[in-house]
Amino acid sequence: MGLGKPDNCLLVIFGGTGDLARRKLYPALYNLFVDDFLPDALQIVAVGRRFFTREGFHNEIVLPSLKAFSRRASNPDGHFASFIGRVHYFQADLYDQGGYTRLRQFIEELEEKSGCQGNRIFYLAVAPEHFGPVVRSLKETGLVPARGWQRVVIEKPFGHDLPSAAELNRQLRAAFSEEEIYRIDHYLGKEMIQNIMVIRFANTFFEPVWNNKYIDHVQITSAETVGVEDRGGYYDRAGALRDMVQNHLLQLVTLVAMEPPASLATEAIRDEKVKVLRSLQPLDAAAVSKNAIRGQYGAGEIDGQVVPPYRQEKEVAPDSTTETFVALKLFIENFRWAGVPFYLRTGKRLPVKVTEIILQFKSLPDILYFKEYGELRPNLLVIRVQPLEGVYVQLNAKRPGNNNYIVPIRLDFCQNCEVGVNSPEAYERLLYDVMRGDPTLFTRWDEVEAAWRFVDPIAAAWTARPPLFPNYAAGQWGPPAARELLIRDGRHWWQEDELLPERG
C-alpha cells in the first residue's frame, strides 16, 4: 500500500463476536498490524451482547479467528500478544441506551490513556435493520460527534430497493455527513479490481481500442460453487439480483466502462462511475423478459459430492421463488459503448469458483489468414479477479512446425500463482483506507441510488411473473436460457477450460 500510517484513532466494532468480525475484520487488522500499517496508538473496541472477560474474548474469539483466517498467522513471531493488547471488549445490547452511555465513558477513558486524539471509526458489522437504531443511539448519547474526525462503515445490502435505501441513507445522514459514511463493497478492495483502471489508463495500447469501434462485447462472470451456507435466512429475502448484481457486478461494469477521470482524486473517479450507471439502458417488462434470465439450483453434484436443492437449504422456504442465478444483457447509452452488449452472470452452485472480466475484440475481415487457415479465434483481454489474480491477452500465432497451423496463445500475468505470493485481503485495503480517510474504493450515495434505479424494474417484472423453479441442476452453468442469451446473438460464454466455448 505504501501510503504511510493513518492518524491515531479508535475503532469500535458493533457485532464484535459475529461472523464478519471473526472471518474478515480481526484477520485484516492483524495483517495490517504485522505489516506496520496501523496507527501507532490504534485501539479496537469490540461491542457484543455476550459476556466475556477481556482475556476470555481474546482466547475464544480473536486468537482462533487469527489462526484460522489470517494470512500472517503461520509465523506469529510474538505479534499475537502485541496485537491483542490493542483489542478490548465491551458488553452491551444494541437497543440499551444505558449501554451506549457506558460505552461513551469507556471510550473516553481509553482515548485519554492511549492518545487516540478523539478520532473515531464506528464499524456496523450487524444486520442492516440495526443500522438506523445504532446510529441514532450514537448521536443521542454523545458518541458522535467525536472530538476529532469521525467515520461510520456499513456493509451491504444498502436497502432492498430504492425507497428502503433512501430511508437508510436518511437515518445515516442524521448523524454523519456523506463524506463520513463509508459503504463497503469488498469487491472493490480486491487487487485486480483496483488494477482495472491501471490496465486501462497506464497502457498506451489499451485505451485507444477501449470502445465500440474495436470491442465486440464484454462478459462479466462471478460464479460460486457453494450454496447459501449459513446465510439462508438473508439470501432467501435478497436473491442473486440484490445480493450480487445491484452492487458487485454493476461496480465492475462502472470500472470497465467509465471515461478517463479528470484526475485520480476520489470524487473525479466516483463522478465517472455514476455517469456509467446513469447511462445504463433501462429494462422495461418486455426487455426483462428477453434480456434478464433467472434461475434456481436443484439437486446435483459439485466436485463429485451430491448437494441438495436450494429449497432444502437451511432457513430457505420449501416453495421459495428466490433466484440463485442471474444473467443479464445490458447496454450503455453513450458514444464510447453504443451498440456493445455487456453480458453479466452470477450464481451459486456453479461448476467453478471464478470472478473474471472478458473483453472480446471484433474479428478481422475474412481475408488473408482466414481464407487460408479457416476460422481464427478472436482476441481477448481477460482480467482475473479471483481465485487467480492476473490478466492475459489471447492472440493468434503460428504453431511451430511446417504446416503453418494457427493456434491461440496467451500473454499471461498471474500475480498470485507463484509460491510465496500472498496478496492482501480486500478488507485490509478497505480498513486501511477508512483510517486514512480515503473513500475512493467505497460507494457514494448517488452510485447506490443509480444502481437501484436500474435494478428495481427487473425485480418488479420478476415479481409479477412467477418463475418455474428449480431450472438448473447444481454443477451446471445456470439454466439453458442463459446460454441462449448469447447464442441468439451469435456469441457464447467463455469458460475456464482454456477459454474454449462453453460445452453442454
Q: Which residues are catalytic?
A: 248
Query: Is residue 410 within 8 Å of residue 383, measured between CB atoms?
Result: no
How many other β-carbons are positioned within 10 Å of the β-carbon of residue 339? Answer: 10
At 408, which helix (H) or strand (E)? strand 406-414
Q: Would you give the DSSP letter of residue 387?
A: S
Q: What backbone torsions phi and psi does residue 298 show, to the nearest 5 degrees?
A: -100, -165
* Cis preceding-peptide flag for 439 (omega within 30 of 0): no
Q: Give the Cα separation of 189 and 184 in Å (integer).
A: 9
CA 372 to chain centre: 45
- Where do the DSSP E strands lie in 141-291? 150-155, 181-184, 215-223
One-letter amino acid at 67 equals K
- Longest CA–CA span in the chain (Å) reads 83
Tell me the C-alpha distance between 249 and 243, whole Å: 10
Task: Give the separation between CA 220 and CA 257, rounded to whole angstroms.
Answer: 12
Q: Under a CB-based contact definition with an 8 Å cutoff, are residues 472 and 298 in contact? A: yes
Helix axes 445-464, 266-278, angle to 10 degrees: 20
How far apart are alpha carbons 129 and 198 in whole angstroms? Answer: 37
Say how many residues make up the chain.
504
Residue 252's closest CA among 153, 337, 355? Answer: 355
Task: In whole angstroms, give the CA distance from residue 58 to residue 87.
Answer: 8
Q: Is 204 exposed, middle or buried (CB count within 10 Å of its CB: 0-12, 13-18, 19+)?
A: exposed
Nearest to 224 by CA among 305, 317, 302, 329: 302
Q: How far is CA 455 from CA 73, 280, 460, in A?
A: 41, 10, 9
Question: Which of 236, 330, 346 is CA-nearest to residue 294?
Answer: 346
Of 307, 317, 335, which is closest to residue 237 (Cα–Cα)?
317
Characterize the bridge pairing of strands 342-347 and 325-330. antiparallel
Distance CA 58, CA 46 (A): 11
